[in-house]
């Protein structure tokens, strides 16, 4: 989810001709989530650059997220832990 509260979806993969991308850069201030298609497997790695501080990282909390993004809740709820 972008800072302006719009959703953006990206499909990871190697089929570039069909819009897949092999990697994704998620800038600061964005929310991110990942889900695998049934029967698929994945390996997720994350790297942070100098200037990153774990105090700036926030995990989505179900009730807070529901209040912050009521218009998007139905779309993002499956990705929020504790929902």
Strand partners, 12: 21
Task: Look at residue 19 in the predicted model and tell me its pLDDT.
Answer: 95
Question: Could you identify the residue written with the tokens 């998620």?
Answer: 26
What contacts 22, CB < 8 A, 6 or more positions away?
12, 13, 14, 16
73 pLDDT more than 80? yes
* Cβ-based neighbour number of residue 61 at 10 Å: 14
Bridge-partner residues for 21, per DSSP?
Answer: 12
Q: What pTM did the predictor assign?
A: 0.74
Q: What is the pLDDT of residue 79?
A: 86
pLDDT digits (tens, 9 = 90+) for 13-68: 999 999 999 999 888 889 998 888 888 888 888 888 888 888 888 888 888 889 99
Residue 81's pLDDT is 78
Other C-beta atoms closer than 10 Å to the C-beta of 21 total 13
Task: Flag whether pLDDT at 83 surpasses 70.
Answer: no
């Amino acid at each position: 989810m972008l800072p302006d509260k719009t959703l953006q979806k990206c499909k990871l993969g190697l089929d570039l001709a069909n819009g897949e991308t092999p990697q994704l850069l998620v800038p600061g201030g964005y929310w991110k989530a990942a889900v695998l298609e049934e029967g698929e497997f994945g390996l997720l790695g994350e790297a942070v650059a100098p200037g990153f501080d774990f105090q700036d990282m926030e995990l989505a909390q179900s009730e807070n997220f529901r209040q912050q993004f009521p218009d998007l809740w139905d779309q993002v709820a499956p990705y929020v832990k504790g929902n």
